[in-house]
Structure 1
Amino acid sequence: MNLPEFSSKIIYNEDTFKSLAAFIKTFKASNIFILTDTNTNQHCSSYFLSNLETTLAVEVLEIEVGEQHKNIETCFQLWEAMANLGADKKTLLINLGGGVLTDLGGFLASTYKRGISFINIPTTLLAMVDAAIGGKTGVNLGNLKNQVGVINPAKAILIDPSFLATLPPQEMRSGLAEMLKHGLIYDAAYWNKLSALNKLTTADLMELIKTSIEIKTTIVAKDLHENNLRKVLNYGHTLGHAIESYCFNHPNLPKLLHGEAIAIGMVLEAYLSVEIASLSKAAAKEIKQVVLQSFPKITFTETDIENIYQLLQHDKKNSHGNIQFVLLEAIGKPVIDCNATFTQVKAAFDFYNS
């Protein structure tokens, strides 16, 4: 891929670790810190460390797993640990984990000593195709997602599909949602290919991952700071983020992974696209059918819907008091900066629930 200078170097080939070793040597780091969580440390760290070629001193930092730890309090603990262990301006931070880890780790590196360099090694499908790419870093503010952060691309991203063997089916589904989104906002042919999942083999997976990465990097390259085009990557996310936050704090609803919530958001925003952005009813039904063949349906009550709508008021994409949606004119043709009323959002839930 021919990427602009501000983009991350994406490493995926048969010699990923040799490429990583060469990068580390060229970078001339003083030492290496590896940030991981309890799950990743158990399942991925030994494989990664056994293949890491370096003579530099290596420190491993471990945090508890889960979205609830993606906050400024965790950052305080890590900043202090890094200072106590001798991290300096030329320390290289390697974030080894899923989307929560790469979001938090990128923010940690971007703010420690006013910014040190970092590499993302995503270990989940969602992180490989989305979270680790594009430079968005940050933490949550209470139950409000990604309210504090900066845009700062990693120096490099290593894509190693070997890590996917450690994932449960729920985590693979979560990543699939972002891949489906890439087709919906950018490439109808890619959407059609992903829609026929029962005909795809594991051998197809790496090519699909590469396609999603290429779609995201192409969009980000044209609009790093999300002033215009990059907004299209938020399709399904306005309602999806609110649903993710609401379910996380609701005693009677399942805790959803990011991609599972985004999948629901994509169905809801497909309906809004029919009402507001000229998407055909047939296309909206197709989106719903494809999503629900891979993601279990969740029932939302009227009270749930009202509370979710209230959470939309805090969405980080809002502007001038308006809730901003990305909708679809057609599959592969997004429209940014759309507004929807509560009545329309309620009808979207009726469409999803029906």
Structure 2
Amino acid sequence: MLPIESNGYSVFFDNSLAELATFLRESSYSKVFFLTDLNTSEHCMPLIGKYLPELDNYDIIEVDPGEENKNIDYCIGVWQMLLDFGADRNSLLINLGGGVITDMGGFAASTFKRGIDFVQVPTTLLSQVDASVGGKTGIDLGSIKNIIGTFTQPKAVFISTEFLKSLSARQLVSGFGEIVKHGLIADRDYYYQVQKISPEEIPSEIIYRSVEIKNKVVTIDPFEKGLRKTLNFGHTIGHAVETFSLKNDSDPLLHGEAIALGMICEAYLSVKHNTLTENELNEIVQYIRKVFPDYPLHTSSFPAIMEFMKNDKKNSNGQIGFALLNAIGDCGYNQFIEEEHILQSLEYYQLVAGK
């Protein structure tokens, strides 16, 4: 597969780690650093050693895994380690991990000494089809996801399906949520193609197509002024439920699981406030519930979920913003929905999920 060209950088597939070795040989960085978490240090760094045996002059900065650690305190730790290791403005940070690592690593690099170069080596399905492409960096502030960040493009992205072999079935299903979303918002035929595959056995062609879809959107609208907002389908409600779960559940929802719930709710709103048909809604709900686990969404949690939604960065003038479907494969944006109707969508989820 040919590299996908994005906003000033390339996304490599197939022999991507060999491409990373070439990239490093052809660069003149003074120092190279890897940002990893405990999981990627154990499962993914050995692959780096296999494909980059000549790379021996680097340092590893390791953080604890998990969304709860994507915050300013951990970011300060990354900055401090870069200082301690002698990083200068000609250094390179290689973010080796899932969405937490690529988001936080991109932010740390984009702000350290007013910006050093970084590349993304996404190791989860979710980060390969979503977080590593598009130039968004960010950390969470308290309970609000990705509210602090920059738009900064990496120097390159290297996607290898070999990393996916270390993932659990649940992690693969979570990443699959963004793949489903790409079909729903931009490519009806792709959506039906996706339905024929198992989340646990993702062909590389599917990852490639999802990156193509996202890349087309972010190339047209790199700073989320218009079309890029369609990528938020399922995320206004999904992010709020994800945050609620992180704060209240002993085994919190993964990102894709929360987005699946959000897509059901926002598909319901797409019927009520846009042109999605009832038949399409029923079809979407049936498929999503077939692939993703139901979540026990209790009415008592609604006020907290609404409060999280009110802090969403897509909001404007106190109104809660949504991307809603015109039809399967076609999405609109900048649609603002009243709280009463959002609550109705949560009640709809309770009804269809049988909770």
TM normalised by structure 2 equals: 0.95
Answer yes or no: is the 8 Å Cα contact 2:89–2:116 preserved in 1: yes
Which position in structure 2 is the counterpart of 1:121? 121
Contact 1:122 1:128 in 2 (8 A): yes
- The CA distance in 2 between the partners of 1:264 and 1:75, in whole Å, is 30
Contact 2:169 2:200 in 1 (8 A): no
The match for 1:10 is 11
Q: CA RMSD in A?
A: 1.6
Matches within 5 A, 1:14-163: 15-55=15-55, 57-163=57-163
Residue number among 287, 293, 298 corresponding to 2:295 in the alignment: 298
Work out the CA distance in 1 between the residues paired with 2:6 and 2:190.
Answer: 27
After superposition, residues 314-325 of structure 1 pair within 5 angstroms as 314-325=311-322
Question: Using the alignment, how far apart are the partners of 2:346 and 2:197 within structure 1?
Answer: 26
Q: After superposition, what is the alpha-carbon deviation per residue over 1:183-238, rounded to whole angstroms, capped at 9, x for unaligned?
A: 0000000111112235x993x61000000000000110000000011110000000
SS in 1 for 2:23: helix
Which segments of 5 or more consecutive residues in structure 1 lack a partner in the other structure?
Answer: none
* Contact 1:21 1:53 survives alignment (8 Å): no
Paired position in structure 1 for 2:243: 245
Are 2:352 and 1:351 equivalent residues in the alignment? no
**1:2 Cα shift?**
8.0
Q: d(CA) in 1 for partners of 2:335 and 2:27?
A: 43
SS of the residue corresponding to residue 118 of structure 1 reads strand
1:275 alignment partner AA: K
Aligned to 2:331: 334
Deviation at 1:340, TM superposition (A): 1.4
Secondary structure class of the residue paired with 1:96? strand
Distance in 2, Cα, partners of 1:75 & 1:34: 14
**1: CA distance, partners of 2:17 / 2:64:** 27
Q: TM-score if structure 1 supplies the norm length?
A: 0.95
Q: 1:310-352 CA distances to partner (integer Å, 9 max, x unpaired)?
A: 2111001111211100001101111101111222112212221
Consecutive unaligned residues of structure 2, counting only runs of 5 or more, are: none
- After TM superposition, what 4+ stretches of structure 1 lie above 2 angstroms from structure 2? 1-8, 15-18, 53-56
Instruction: Out of 77-86 and 97-106, give the one that drifted further.
Output: 77-86
1:260/1:90 CA distance change after superposition, 3 Å: same
Alignment match of 2:265 (pick from 265, 268, 277): 268
Distance between the aligned counterparts of 1:182 and 1:61, measured in 2? 33
8 Å Cα contact 1:232-1:326 kept in structure 2: yes
User: How far apart in 2 are the matches of 1:170 and 1:85?
Assistant: 36
Contact 2:178 2:256 in 1 (8 A): yes
Does the 8 A contact of 1:236 with 1:264 survive in 2?
yes
- The amino acid that maps onto 1:206 is S
